Amino acid sequence: EAVLAADPEVVIVATGGLPHTEVLAEGDGLVVSAWDILSGDAQPGSNVLIYDDAGDYAALQAAEKIAATGARVEIMTRDRSFAPEVMAMSLTPSMRELQKRDVTFTVTWRLEAVRRDGNELLAIIGSDYGGVTRERRVDQVVVNHGTRPLDDVYFELKEASSNRGEVDYEALVAGRPQAVLRNPEGRFQLFRIGDAVAARNTHAAIYDALRLVKDL
């Protein structure tokens, strides 16, 4: 209603995403997200397993915050290298902090389930390569699995827009203005950019924006 009241010619939804951690066969309710740690919604544990299934910045930053308290921290990924989405210039300061505090990096292992066992959490670990199971006893499990688009506003506006939210990607890549017309009654064009489309990074969000707004 607020958007329509402004009677816009173009609406660009840039509402980002929110983390999700529902990735386990059992125990989703026992884990916290990297965002919970960074926002302070969850206090760092003292013996922590960080399962990083996204390979992006949030896991390393959460690890830094937890390790700074003196906690024992292990970062685990099912990938064969850790943090592939973090570029070298950002990785360097993170690694300086994490190695100084003896954070452990474990590659090629996958968190499958988390169970409560008294005051502890029992993490069940498997492998994409099969045939092996391990356990970890910790007091906190952090799951970093990227974000899901926060796209309610986009979908609420979609039907009323002239392009029904559609982007002509060939035109976008070629640097031409957007001219999709699906609903002649529509009074505004609708686009979404950045993490509201898919979990990515600031470069993708800025580049999406640049390619759309240069023609407005």
Ligand X SMILES: Cc1cc2nc3c(=O)[nH]c(=O)nc-3n(C[C@H](O)[C@H](O)[C@H](O)COP(=O)(O)OP(=O)(O)OC[C@H]3O[C@@H](n4cnc5c(N)ncnc54)[C@H](O)[C@@H]3O)c2cc1C
Separation between Cα atoms, residue 61 and residue 45, nearest integer Å: 15
Select 15 or 127, whichever has its Cβ closest to ligand X: 15
CA distance 52 to 32: 12
Name the region of 167 (left: φ>0; alpha: ψ -120 to 50; beta: rest): beta
Residue 38 or 160 with smaller CB distance to ligand X: 38
Please identify which residue in the block is written with the tokens 């660009």: 12
Cβ atoms of 156 and 183 closer than 8 Å: no
Q: Toward ligand X, which CB reaches closer, 65 or 164?
A: 65
Q: Cβ distance 212 to 205 under 8 Å?
A: no
Name the residue nearer to ligand X (CB basis): 13 or 125: 13
Which tokens go with 202? 């600031």
Name residues contacting ligand X, limited to 109-168 (CB under 6 A).
150, 153
Applying the rule CB under 6 A, the residues between 14 and 33 that interact with ligand X are 14-16
Contact range with ligand X by CB under 6 A, out of 56-64, 74-82, 97-105, 106-114: 56-64
Place of tokens 């965002």: 35
Residue from 105, 124, 195, 212 in contact with ligand X (CB under 6 A)? 195
Binding of ligand X by 200 (CB under 6 A): yes
Q: Name the packing angle between helices 57-67 and 88-100 (round to 10°).
A: 20
Instruction: Provide the strand spans (E) within 78-184.
Output: 104-107, 110-117, 120-126, 134-138, 140-144, 147-149
Distance from the first to the final alpha carbon of the chain: 23
Among 202, 213, 215, 216, binds ligand X (CB under 6 A): 202
- Cβ proximity to ligand X: between 91 and 113 the closer is 91
Nearer to ligand X, 124 or 190 (CB): 190
Shortest spacing between CB 127 and ligand X, in angstroms: 27
CB of 112: closest distance to ligand X in angstroms?
A: 25
DSSP state of 176: P
Q: What number of chain residues touch ligand X (CB under 6 A)?
A: 18
The residue from 27, 55, 165, 194 that contacts ligand X (CB under 6 A) is 194
Q: Can you give the binding site for ligand X, defined by CB under 6 A?
A: 14-16, 38, 57-58, 61, 90, 150, 153, 194-196, 200-203, 205
